[in-house]
């Protein structure tokens, strides 16, 4: 999908594109006047030096001279010298690829994958994807790729490839073994997906990118959930790296009638308020889920809803990118992406390189974050079912998983999930190898490595479920063939 480059001056894209600055043509004129003044003074201009280098390379370099490549690398060198991770140089092709990614345009087979326990699981088959057309299903295990066994997560690379090529996947599905050819091709993904949880009348909306159409998709999903009976919302912004700021501003209008979206400042460092008007109040509790990959336009939306008293934030500290870029089209069709503004939240918090801190911190476990968000949105009871490739909460499917460990007759479950179920908290002591779980009423229970009631694997703590139930008898559970069901 190719976008109209003129739109780049009207749309604001974060982290890569941003709000256009008023007065840039005047700034360019001023730069030109400065250059003319320098030349008038008899000094050599920068462009003359660059031209001299190109001429010498062309005339004497024994390796040959590719002037276009020299110029491209010179531009990249200038941009990279800025020591700004957000400024960049794009060829026309690179810019198109970036635009496609923001607008959820991809080439591949269209699955999400997870390698764990020496197996490669399909955790989701994306709507409208080649994988769906080929008959692949969530929970399938990919055993071979083009006849070669899958032995590590690196084998995911072999599934990727060019458009209009084919990959042969050997799949294990329950007791079945099958070979399924899949054509790699172009497919589009929605930026917004949603679910309705009848118990608690909670609407769940996942916003994966602030694409050009994400605000329209959001409005449609919001209407659908309202019609279903939604009385509170969980807005999932985890792993959303940003997109068009205009889109974020339009989405904010579905939460509040008017108010401050953010503050921005350019070279003058004078703060200016960016305001919202013509919106509507959401009139229901809102919970936002964040993680360390919630960035840019996602942070604008999070900060706006939080600071205006509309949303409670659950999860981990966000990415911390409070800088805005413009894309300037060059005469050869390439583009410069330059940082031109910084921005602050409505409460004037500058979180660049720091991130936004959640109101309720839930670390290192996406399922525990979702459970906590559901409780905060008004769920009274949680019933969870999951395994290495799937997750459901209160009989509604979500993206995610629940890892369990088996050791003889003992079953270990991630402590953060169990703690979230009882709306509690955990504390790990490395010196005593002891995990302490505290429930919402202040009741505490200890689990240790020595007593085999706890395990520590890859930095994550697990609790033996029999021992946990003895200390917190409100938990009910069943475990069968790798799938655990938990309820509270």
Q: Where in the sequence numbering do the catalytic residues fall?
A: 296, 307, 321
Peptide bond before 322: cis, by omega within 30 degrees of 0? Answer: no
Mode of pairing for the β-strands spanning 286-290 and 311-315: parallel
What DSSP character marks residue 144? E
| CB-CB neighbours of 5 under 10 Å | 15
Give the helix ranges, DSSP H, for 178-296. Answer: 214-228, 245-252
Nearest to 173, CA basis, from 147, 142, 151, 144: 142
441: left (phi over 0), alpha (psi -120 to 50) or beta: alpha
Q: What are phi and psi of 158, to 5 degrees?
A: -70, -15
| CB-CB neighbours of 155 under 10 Å | 17
**Chain position carrying tokens 């509790």:** 285
**What are the C-alpha distances in Å from 194 to residues 143, 233, 398?**
31, 10, 10
Structure tokens at 82: 């800025």
Spatial CB neighbours of 425, under 8 Å, sequence gap ≥ 6:
419, 437, 438
Distance between CA atoms of residues 104 and 219, nearest Å: 18
What angle do helix axes 297-307 and 245-252 make, rounded to 10 degrees? 20
Q: How many CA atoms lie within 13 A of 236 on its CB side?
A: 24
Task: Name 142's bridge partners.
Answer: 120, 171
Distance between CA atoms of residues 96 and 93, nearest Å: 5
Mode of pairing for the β-strands spanning 311-315 and 360-361: parallel
Nearest to 304, CA basis, from 323, 288, 291, 292: 288
What DSSP character marks residue 77? H
| CB-CB neighbours of 250 under 10 Å | 18
Contact 374, 380 (CB under 8 A): no
**420 burial type by CB count under 10 A (0-12 exposed, 13-18 middle, 19+ buried):** buried
Nearest to 435, CA basis, from 399, 407, 471: 471
């Amino acid at each position: 999908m190719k976008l109209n480059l003129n739109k780049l001056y009207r749309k604001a894209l974060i982290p890569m594109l941003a709000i256009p600055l008023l007065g840039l043509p005047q700034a360019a004129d001023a730069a030109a006047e400065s250059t003319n003044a320098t030349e008038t003074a008899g000094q050599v201009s920068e462009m003359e030096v660059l031209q001299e280098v190109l001429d010498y390379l062309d005339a004497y370099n024994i390796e040959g001279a590719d002037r276009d490549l020299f110029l491209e690398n010179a531009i990249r060198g200038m941009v990279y010298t800025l020591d700004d991770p957000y400024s960049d140089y794009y060829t026309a092709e690179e810019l198109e690829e970036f635009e496609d990614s923001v607008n959820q345009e991809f080439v591949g087979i269209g699955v999400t994958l997870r390698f764990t326990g020496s197996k490669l699981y399909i955790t989701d088959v994306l709507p409208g994807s080649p994988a769906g057309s080929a008959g692949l299903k969530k929970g399938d295990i990919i055993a071979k790729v083009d006849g070669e066994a899958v032995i590590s997560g690196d084998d995911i690379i072999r599934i990727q490839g060019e458009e209009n090529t084919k990959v042969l996947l050997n799949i294990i599905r329950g007791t079945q073994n099958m070979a399924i050819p899949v054509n790699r091709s172009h497919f589009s993904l929605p930026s917004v997906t949603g679910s309705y949880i009848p118990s608690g009348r909670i609407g769940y909306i996942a916003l994966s990118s602030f694409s050009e159409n994400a605000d329209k998709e959001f409005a449609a999903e919001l209407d659908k959930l309202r019609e279903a009976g939604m009385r509170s919302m969980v807005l999932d912004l985890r792993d959303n790296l940003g997109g068009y700021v205009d889109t974020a501003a339009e989405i904010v209008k579905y939460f509040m009638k008017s108010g401050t979206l953010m503050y921005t400042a350019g070279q003058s460092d004078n703060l200016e308020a960016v305001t919202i008007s013509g919106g509507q109040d959401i009139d229901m509790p809102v919970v936002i889920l964040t993680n360390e990959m919630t960035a840019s336009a996602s942070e604008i939306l999070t900060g706006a809803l939080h600071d205006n008293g509309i949303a409670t934030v659950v999860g981990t500290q966000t990415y911390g990118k409070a800088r805005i870029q413009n894309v300037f089209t060059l005469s050869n069709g390439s583009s410069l992406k330059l940082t031109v503004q910084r921005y602050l939240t409505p409460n004037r918090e500058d979180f660049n390189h720091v991130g936004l801190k959640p109101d309720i911190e839930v670390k290192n476990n996406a399922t525990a974050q979702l459970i906590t968000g559901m409780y905060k949105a008004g769920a009274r009871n949680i019933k969870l079912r999951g395994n290495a490739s799937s997750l459901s909460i209160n009989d509604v499917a979500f993206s995610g998983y629940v890892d369990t460990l088996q050791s003889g007759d003992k079953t270990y479950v991630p402590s953060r999930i169990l703690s979230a179920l009882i709306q509690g908290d955990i504390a790990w002591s490395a010196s005593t190898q002891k995990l302490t779980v505290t429930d919402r009423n202040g009741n505490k229970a200890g689990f240790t490595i020595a007593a085999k009631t706890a395990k520590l694997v890859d930095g994550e703590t697990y609790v033996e479920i029999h021992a946990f139930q003895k200390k917190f008898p409100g938990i009910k559970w069943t475990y069968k063939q790798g799938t655990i069901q938990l309820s509270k």
